[in-house]
Copies of this chain bind each other. A is one copy, B any other.
Amino acid sequence: MPEKETDMNDINMKKRIPPLLAGLRDHLENGIIPFWMERALDKEFGGYMTNFNENGAALAMPEKYLNTQVRLLWWFSRLLRAYPARKDFRKMADAGADFIIKYFWDAQNGGWFWKVKRDGTGIDDGKVVYGQSFAIYAFSEYFRATGERRALEYASRTFDLLQKYAADTLHGGYYENLEKDWTVAPGGFCAGDRKGLDTHMHLMEAFTNLYAASGEEIHRRKLLEIIDLIMLRMVDLETGCGRNQFDLEFHPIPAIAIRRTWNAERAGDAPATPTDTTSYGHNVELAWLMRDAIETAKGSIEPYLEKIRRLLSHAVEHGVDWEFGGIYRDGTSKGGPLIMDKEFWQHSEVLVGFLDGVELFGEERYLDAFENVWNFVKCHMIVKATGEWRVLLERKGHPIDSNVGNEWKVSYHTGRSMLECISRLERLNH
Q: Which of A176-184, A305-313, A378-386, A411-419 contacts B (4 or more CB under 8 A)?
A: A176-184
Q: Mark A166-177, 1 if CB is under 8 A from B, else 0.
A: 011111111000
Question: Are B164's CB and A169's CB within 8 A?
Answer: no
Binds B, one of A114-122, A126-134, A216-224: A216-224
Binds B, one of A77-85, A225-233, A288-296: A225-233
User: A324 contacts the other chain (Cβ, under 8 Å)?
Assistant: no
Q: Is the CB of B174 within 8 A of A228?
A: no
In the complex, what residues of B have CB within 8 A of residue A226's CB? 169-170
Q: Is the CB of B164 within 8 A of A225?
A: no
- A160 interface contact, C-beta 8 A: yes
A32 to chain B, nearest CB (A): 35
Contacts of A184 in B (CB 8 A): 221
Contact present for B163 and A167 (CB under 8 Å): yes
Distance of A361 from chain B, by nearest CB (Å): 28
| Set B164, B171, B232: member contacting A164, Cβ < 8 A | B164
Q: Does A262 contact B (CB under 8 A)?
A: no
A164:B172 contact, CB within 8 angstroms: no
Indicate which residue in B163, B172, B182 contacts A172 across the interface (CB closer than 8 Å): B172
Is A165 in contact with chain B by the CB < 8 A criterion? Answer: yes
The interface centre, meaning the residue of A167, A173, A184 with most chain B CB atoms within 10 A of its CB, is A167
Q: Contacts A160-B164, A163-B163, A164-B164; is A169 near B217 (CB within 8 Å)?
A: no
- CB-defined contacts of A228 to chain B, threshold 8 Å: 170
Measured CB to CB, the closest approach of chain B to A87, in angstroms, equals: 37
Complex alpha-carbon distance, A228 and B226, angstroms: 22
Q: Are B173 and A169 in contact (CB under 8 A)?
A: yes
Asked whether, in the complex, the Cβ of A170 is within 8 Å of the Cβ of B169, the reply is: no
Max count, chain B CB within 10 A of own CB: residue among A168, A171, A222:
A171
Contact A172-B174, Cβ < 8 Å, known A164-B160, A182-B218, A183-B217: no
Bound form: Cα–Cα A168–B221 in Å: 10
Q: How far is the CB of A167 from chain B (nearest CB, A)?
A: 5
A363 shortest CB reach to chain B, Å: 32
Q: Which residues of B contact A171 (CB under 8 A)?
A: 172
Task: Note all chain B residues with C-beta closer than 8 A to A164.
Answer: 160, 163-164, 218
Min CB gap A226→B, angstroms: 7
Whole-angstrom CA separation of A281 from B10 in the bound complex: 69
Instruction: Provide the bound-state CA to CA distance between A89 and B124, in Å.
Output: 50
Option from B182, B218, B225, B232 in Cβ contact (under 8 Å) with A168: B225
Residues from chain B with Cβ under 8 Å of A168 in the complex: 169, 172, 225
**How distant is the Cα of A381 from the Cα of B183 in the complex, in angstroms?**
48
Q: Which residue of B lies closest to A164 (CB)?
A: B163
A330 to chain B, nearest CB (A): 29
Ranked nearest first, the 5 interchain pairs of A and B with the lowest CB-CB distance are: A170-B225, A163-B164, A172-B172, A169-B225, A167-B169
A-B contact pairs, 18 of them (CB 8 A): A160-B160, A160-B164, A163-B163, A164-B164, A164-B218, A167-B169, A168-B169, A168-B225, A169-B226, A170-B172, A170-B225, A170-B228, A170-B229, A172-B172, A181-B217, A182-B218, A183-B221, A184-B221
18 further interface pairs, Cβ-Cβ under 8 Å (given A163-B164, A172-B172): A160-B164, A163-B167, A164-B164, A165-B218, A167-B167, A167-B169, A168-B169, A169-B172, A169-B174, A169-B222, A169-B225, A169-B226, A170-B225, A170-B229, A170-B232, A171-B172, A182-B218, A183-B221
